[in-house]
Structure 1
Amino acid sequence: MLSAPSQLLERNIDLFDEDGWLVINPADAYFTDRLSNLAIDVLHQYFDIYAESVRVIPCTILDSRDILDTQTGIFSEQKVGKHQHFFAPFLTTSRRYRNIVIYLPKAKAHYAMLITMAAALVQKGGCVYVVGENKGGIKSASKLLASIGEVDKVDSARHCSLLKCEVTQSHPDFDIKQFLRYFDININDQEATIASLPGVFSHEELDDGTQLLLEKLPSSLRGSVLDFACGAGIIGCLLKKQLPHLDISYLDVSALALYSTAQTLTENGLTGTLMAANGLHGVDERFNYIVTNPPFHTGIKTDYTVTKRFIADAARLLPPGGDLHMVANRFLPYPGLLGEVFERVQTLAQTTRFTVYQAVKS
């Protein structure tokens, strides 16, 4: 199904009348199907839409050293018809695109980074379009877009708006390192330096829920650990420094998060296996422990279907005696959801905002 921003682009399909487009972070895997006659590139910073678009990759395994060694930023790429799809945190290439369209992200800092990257990739005299929902901040997005050229509003519909900016000057090459931010943390007398990019959960600071989880994790962990929804790699990095014998893997849907995790590991003299996946779909490796501050507990409209699928998949990947340790907003019904799958569920810690759970597979 087309997302609302894609429906607005489809309403303006005549804009796409020639090759040479770059589409950044489409909100669905279907709008680009409408452009099957054009040779275009598509940059995905999120693995779920990338995997759905190329229809062949359930999970991608990466090495933290390889992630930082790449000069182009590309983690994975696939050709589908005339379309080249990239899964990457950023894109640097000598090619300059005639037109670029950006789907507006949630975070303003992330949007600023995408604007800077698009300005470096578009031809002089080319256009950068931005499409997004009105409630997502598209009305104020024109101010930042105006930093690279003159902005016009093309259309509004489906509670969305489409902006156009003609870029009349050349811009310097994009450098991802300009957007990396670093901060130090200390949990249970263990210090670490964390690197993060805009668009990554808890950018530039330690989330209170993650801190509570780290403070309450037992020191008796042995074997393999999956840091699910790893973000900037805070949980896995601290565990590895505290318990060097652990074999830790880091999984996230976001290329920005995986790049941040790789940078965090390097800052702390560590390496690790990184996994790009949509939830735990396509992950077959078994782990003794899964540790997570999961991304699907942010409000009253939580999708419990996604939560239930994650819990069931987590149990599938754990051996008998394996543990799931997770922190969640206190008001959400995780004891019942976990109890539907795991034989033993207990509360390790609780504050006015968060609860840390341990679920054990018998």
Structure 2
Amino acid sequence: MALAADPALDTLFLPMSSGALDWPAPGGTLFLRARAGVALNAARRHKPVCEQSFRPWADALERDGLAVSEANSGRFERVLVLAPRQRDESRALLARALAQLAPGGVVVACAANKEGARSMQDDLARLAGPVHALTKNHCRVCWTAPMDADQVDAALQAEWRALDGPRRIAEGRFLSRPGLFAWDRIDAASALLADSLPADLAGRGADLGAGFGYLASEVLARCPAVTGLDLYEAEARALALARENLAGARVPLGFHWHDVTRGLAERFDFIVSNPPFHQGRADEPGLGQAFIAAAAGALRAGGRLWLVANRHLPYEAALARGFTGVRTVREDAGFKVIEATKAGAA
């Protein structure tokens, strides 16, 4: 299957492919927020150490035979960064990249123009001094001079490294961090679903796309007959916070770093979900439809799915394929809450 175009990934490798930078010895490169793609496959002989906390992208790297982990602590001659859009998260990642350089190492960072490329370049220059830059594919790649520790603005580096650390939100109820979905607030769609949940949900349930654990927390507070709850989340940074936010829960919990679109191995009495519906800035109904299919496959006969979605998203056909008794429970502020029952006796 052909790999999808990834302009930022392609642009990131320009300094090496153009000869502006050499590759270090195999294993001497750390790639933060790595993504699989043609450009990375072409560089595989350099054996970059890839880090990725988003499970679908980590799985894609592993399928390509690349070494990948959630976190690395060593020092490297080259650190590559695909900078995220959220600025606090991006600044923290740049500061960390510099901290993981071996003496004389170089940081290379890239972002799409529409996702803050110029700000990313300015931020890297504030930390490390003048940088080189190239533009292509509506993206910008920039890189530092060979760096030693005393060339970095240490005070600013320490300040920025803390920017994506866990912090309290929602009047202190939850820990969250920049870069997660709706990281600094309770998402309106999730809040609507929580407010619509029936008190009679019972048995073992699952939260698909659990984030930092808000919806799971509401299920446990509102539904006293729940005896167990499993949280499925693709972003490891969110799942780690969900563990903390639900510490001391009254029922056994399971935490799964998992791509829900690949299906679920367990069986449940009920499932709740506010599924993702976009990739980048584009709506992608296929994501939510895949969540619905996974829920249909994982529910026991008579089990219930409680789902919230943007009102315009076309989920009805996917619901009809896997469920009976599909009904819209509530519509408000551009969202719809749906209950769907799995065919068969409970």
Q: TM-score, normalised by structure 1?
A: 0.81
Segment of structure 1 superposing worse, 140-149 or 45-54: 140-149
Name the CA shift for 1:259/1:270 in 2 (closer, same or farther; >3 Å).
farther
Deviation of 1:153 (Å): 3.7
Letter in 1 for 2:10: Q
Q: Deviations over 1:20-40 (max 9, x none)?
A: 111011233543322222232
Looking at CA atoms only, which structure, 1 or 2, has the larger radius of gyration? 2
| Contact 2:275–2:287 (8 Å) recurs in 1 | no
Identical aligned residues as a percent? 24
Stretches of structure 1 that go unaligned for 5 or more consecutive residues are 57-79, 186-191
Q: Deviations over 1:261-285 (max 9, x none)?
A: 1221238788732112223315211
1:123 corresponds to 2:105: no
In the alignment, which residue of structure 1 is the partner of 2:188?
208
Deviation of 1:220 (Å): 0.6
Letter in 2 for 1:140: S
Separation in 1, partners of 2:280, 2:51: 29
Separation in 2, partners of 1:193, 1:264: 8
1:31 corresponds to 2:39: yes
Stretches of structure 2 that go unaligned for 5 or more consecutive residues are none
In the alignment, which residue of structure 1 is the partner of 2:215?
235
Deviation of 1:102 (Å): 0.8
| Contact 2:263–2:297 (8 Å) recurs in 1 | no
In the alignment, which residue of structure 1 is the partner of 2:277?
296
In the alignment, which residue of structure 2 is the partner of 1:47?
55
Secondary structure of the equivalent of 1:326? strand
Segment of structure 1 superposing worse, 237-246 or 100-109: 237-246
Equivalences for 1:1-362 in 2 at 5 Å?
1=3, 2-12=5-15, 13=17, 14=19, 15-19=21-25, 20-55=28-63, 80=65, 84-86=67-69, 88=70, 90-91=71-72, 93=73, 95-166=74-145, 167-169=147-149, 179-184=165-170, 193-243=173-223, 245-266=226-247, 272-296=253-277, 301-362=282-343
Name the CA shift for 1:16/1:252 in 2 (closer, same or farther; >3 Å).
farther
Q: Deviations over 1:171-198 (max 9, x none)?
A: 588977971111246xxxxxx8211122
Secondary structure of the equivalent of 2:262? coil
Secondary structure of the equivalent of 1:357? strand
Whose RCO is larger (CA < 8 A, sep 6+)? 1
Q: Deviations over 1:123-170 (max 9, x none)?
A: 243221111211111122122222320242432111111011344435
Segment of structure 1 superposing worse, 6-15 or 108-117: 6-15
Q: TM-score, normalised by structure 2?
A: 0.84
Secondary structure of the equivalent of 1:311? helix
In the alignment, which residue of structure 2 is the partner of 1:70?
none
Q: What count of residue pairs does the alignment treat as equivalent?
A: 327
Letter in 1 for 2:8: P
Deviation of 1:241 (Å): 3.7
| Contact 2:330–2:336 (8 Å) recurs in 1 | yes
Deviation of 1:299 (Å): 9.9
| Contact 1:24–1:103 (8 Å) recurs in 2 | yes
